[in-house]
Amino acid sequence: MKCGKIVCVGQNYRAHIKELKSEVPQEPVLFLKPSSALIADGDTIIVPPNLGRVDYEVELAVIIGKRCKNVSAAEALSYVGSVAVFNDVTARDVQSVARKAGLPWSLAKGMDTFAPISAALPIANVKELQDLHLELKLNGEIRQNGNTSMMIFPVVEIISYSSRYMTLEPGDIIATGTPEGVGAIKDGDVIEAKIDGIGKMRNPVKVMH
């Protein structure tokens, strides 16, 4: 199934909002990443030169199985085909400069290789979407350790909200936000991200000079 778009939710975990010194949103904060940024488990995250700080962000991703438009939260789950582990790689310095200037930060999120995703698991194999343990290790050390129960907007609300404004097509990916513990990556790093019962992936980092 081809991915047409990646809908991402920013600031969906309180502790992460705090570490970004941001404020708790009243509605889901949506942004898009292009599907050209997707890479798979084992692929290398390639960081262009002179970007400054670039961060990892482990997230639960859901992949749409059936076209949906204007669905309620109660029916949202029936439109999900599968789930996966996602890394919302972010050029943090580029994003911060844009945010301060009130400009879009698409570039900071949308570069090639900035969307690693694991193999997908059919939704039927998931017991409880809102009680999944997420973990990210940088060079073998645990850096992010969270649970989807800590989301401000649960998955079904994100799907319902998005579908009011954007038709979600089969293959579209929804990345549901990252817990606290985001941090910078550098050349030669290895990132291992996993969600218990869902999957895992490992991506080395190459920073270009």
Q: Which residues bind Mg ion (CB under 5 A)?
A: 57, 88, 178
Residue 84 Rama label (left phi>0; alpha psi -120 to 50; beta): beta
Q: Minimal distance in Å, beta carbon 159 to Mg ion? A: 17
Q: Toward Mg ion, which CB reaches closer, 82 or 95?
A: 95
Q: Which of 193, 162, 197 is nearest to 176 (CA)?
A: 162
Q: Toward Mg ion, which CB reaches closer, 76 or 89?
A: 89
Q: Minimal distance in Å, beta carbon 22 to Mg ion? A: 12
| Residue sitting closest to Mg ion (CB) | 88
Q: Minimal distance in Å, beta carbon 171 to Mg ion? A: 20
Q: Toward Mg ion, which CB reaches closer, 28 or 199?
A: 28
Q: Minimal distance in Å, beta carbon 4 to Mg ion? A: 19
Q: Toward Mg ion, which CB reaches closer, 78 or 107?
A: 107
Q: Minimal distance in Å, beta carbon 209 to Mg ion? A: 27
Burial of 70 (0-12, 13-18, 19+ CB in 10 A): exposed
Burial of 27 (0-12, 13-18, 19+ CB in 10 A): exposed
Q: Toward Mg ion, which CB reaches closer, 88 or 135?
A: 88
- What is the torsion angle, in degrees rounded to the nearest 10, for the CA atoms of residue 119, residue 36, residue 5 and residue 126? 10
Residues whose CB falls within 8 Å of the CB of residue 85, separated by 6 or more in sequence, listed in order = 58, 59, 60, 61, 117, 118, 134, 193, 194, 195, 198, 199, 200, 201
Q: Collapsing DSSP states into helix, strand and coil, what is residue 203?
A: strand
